[in-house]
Amino acid sequence: MAMTGMDIYKILPKTNCRDCGLRTCMSFASALLRGEKSLSDCPHLSDEARDELAPHLENISPEEGFREMINSLKAEVRELDLSAMARGLGARYSDGRLHITCLGKDFIINIITGIREKVFGENGLIAKFKEFVRNTLDTVEELKEDFIQAGKDLIG
């Protein structure tokens, strides 16, 4: 069975150090699936983790990588508290769905099925929106890590 971005993330060092050129280890996991990054781009990856991940990343086609990225993104969306996110994004939350306007189009994020366009338009628009959501997830994850670290610093 193919690994998802979340499966890869669990094996990564989770330092969010940005040494790979991305903001978070979750972004790095997704980039590995898309073939945009290689295991050697993470200087903190142990030899054991590299050996575990390498066989799963060797023969990933661009289509398979994209499909895995979408599945990974859907898994991330399922774990979000969309009602809390709605306020920060200037969106509306109702009936288990986040309604958001982005790039002049209305989109719906459903906690079960993922992302779909409310108004069908250009093919590339949904990909742009997914990138927007991924960047938002990265920012939320980054802020969460910063908040946790700040709490640890305050405690001593």
Tens of pLDDT, residue by residue over 73-84, are: 667 766 777 777
Name the stretches of the chain with pLDDT < 70. 1-2, 60-69, 72-74, 77-78, 103, 110-156
Domains of the chain: 1-79 (1.10.15.40), 81-156 (no CATH)
User: In this predicted model, what pLDDT tens digit does every residue of 30-50 receive, in sequence order?
Assistant: 888 878 888 999 999 999 999
pLDDT value of position 12:
95
Tell me the C-alpha distance between 116 and 102, whole Å: 12
User: In this predicted model, what pLDDT tens digit does every residue of 136-148 receive, in sequence order?
Assistant: 666 666 666 666 6
CB 69 within 8 A of CB 58: no
- Please give the model's pTM, rounded to 2 decimal places: 0.45
CB 70 within 8 A of CB 130: yes
Q: Where are the beta strands (DSSP E) in the chain?
A: 92-94, 97-102, 105-110, 114-117
pLDDT value of position 53:
92
CB 129 within 8 A of CB 102: yes
Which of left, alpha, beta for 76 (phi over 0: left; psi -120 to 50: alpha)? alpha
